[in-house]
Amino acid sequence: MKRPFNPEPKQTTYKGSPVYEVDCRQWTGQMRALSHPVRRRFLTKGEAQAWCRQLVVDSTVGRKLDPGPVALSSLCDLFQKSIEAGAAMETIKTYRSQKRKFIAFLERHNVVDVREVTPAVVEMYRADLFSEDLRSNTIIGYLSWLSKMYRWANRTGYGVGNPVDGVKMPKRESRRRNFTEDELRTLMAGADPELKPLWTLLLLTGLRRREAVELLRDNVVIETPAPFLRVVGKGKKVRTIPLVPEAQEAVRHFLGVHDCDTLLPFTYREIYVLWAGESGRKIVGERARLGLPDDLDVHSFRHTFLTWLANRTGTPLTEVQAVAGHASVVTTTLYVHRDESMLRKGMGRLGADMVSVWYQEDAANEKIQRTAVVTRPGA
């Protein structure tokens, strides 16, 4: 007897994290008719159950059922709970800021129901964001959050379609860049002696600011022939970063200056203020004190490390990706900037090699001609 179509989520683990899985492999025909995958995983049980209920409705009526009136503010709250599970605190703060911005827009324009948000409304939201003189990357973040929310609403049966799909995203801009050789000399020659180990460590390990402040002393392996750091990065992924001699000196400095669980005696915010300063409290950062450009931020240390590792040492991008802790080598290529000086040196070596080949060919041809003259009969 054929089992009735009544999928239910089951709690399991996926890559070490608890999830709720809906397994519909015994109803492959129904799932193919609905154009849905036969297996799906969700972070929360409520989201999984909502998706199962929607599957039953879709199978019964043969089409997506209109979810009816759904308050957008409530939907935003539900979505927020689903994406905050397991996220870092800084990420959660960003999500909440994006949610508040969208809710404030809805209140100004009296938009209440989920079905009232059309591509035209999203265009209005985009125009409002541009009117606040926000950076393009910030606007992309707000619109991406909205797009994620509607994708989640469609999966859980609360929405139909994604109005953000019909809106053109702003062009992403990158204001970060590498340190030049002259800027690095300026930094290392004039840095505050108490801060120089910090800048050295960031420059020679490529640590993210969050990773640096959360690095535990127990994860520093220094008294071995090959010292390294054991770093817990995004997504709780663990990687190792070898330490060159200068980085080892910086680590030993911090191991001796305080007795806390973490290696660095700085907070996430303090590192930013030490580098960029704070106008409200009239704090002059290291960047302004040394006369370095404003487009060099704390993340520029990481960009410089990865660019030099790839371009100046010939390290394969797959190895650079592993040291950086990137999920994809495509992300690594965004960090590895073009190096004009290395390009010129490479072109110089290429020219020298080509010229040497030409001379070798000329010498070989001349030798052949001399040999032919000597061996010619009657010569």
Give the best-scoring range by mean pLDDT among 84-98, 167-181, 239-253.
239-253
For residue 372, pLDDT beyond 70: no
In a domain? residue 341: no
Are 189 and 330 part of one and the same domain? yes
Reading the block at residue 158, the tokens are: 């609360």
**Residues in the chain, total:** 379
Q: Buried b / exposed e across 108-139, counting CB within 10 Å, b at 16+?
A: eeebeebbebeeebbeebbebbeeeebeeeeb
> 355 in a domain, yes or no?
no
- The boundaries of the domain holding residue 97 are 72-166
Lowest mean per-residue pLDDT among 12-16, 227-231, 346-350:
346-350
pLDDT for residue 203: 92
Q: How many CB atoms lie within 10 A of CB 208?
A: 19
163-216 pLDDT, tens digit per residue, is 888 788 887 666 668 898 899 999 999 999 999 999 999 999 999 999 999 999
Instruction: Report the candidate in 126, 207, 117, 131 with the shortest Cα–Cα distance to residue 162.
Output: 117
132-138 long-range contacts, CB within 8 A, separation 24+: 135/173, 136/170, 136/171, 136/172, 136/173, 137/172, 137/173
- Per-residue pLDDT, 91: 79
Weakest-pLDDT range from 20-34, 46-60, 290-304, 356-370: 356-370
Specify the pLDDT at position 30: 73
Residue 2 lies in a domain: no
Number of compact structural domains in the chain: 3
- 76 and 57 part of one domain: no
Whether residue 140 sits in one domain with residue 17: no
Reported confidence tier of residue 89, pLDDT bands at 50, 70, 90: confident
Chain segment 248-271, per-residue pLDDT in tens: 999 999 998 877 889 999 999 899
Check whether residue 252 and residue 213 sit in a common domain: yes
Indicate the pLDDT class of residue 12, thresholds 50, 70 and 90: confident
Q: Are residues 197 and 267 in the same domain?
A: yes
Q: Which two tokens stand for residue 208?
A: 């993210």
Are 198 and 239 members of one domain? yes
Same domain, 188 and 157: no
In the chain, what percentage of residues exceed pLDDT 90?
Answer: 22
- Stated as kind and residue range, the H or E segment containing 19 is strand 17-23
Measure the CA–CA gap between 4 and 348, rounded to whole angstroms. 73
Tokens representing 311? Answer: 């371009």
pTM of the model as a whole: 0.56
User: Do residue 80 and residue 140 come from a single domain?
Assistant: yes
Check whether residue 50 and residue 102 sit in a common domain: no
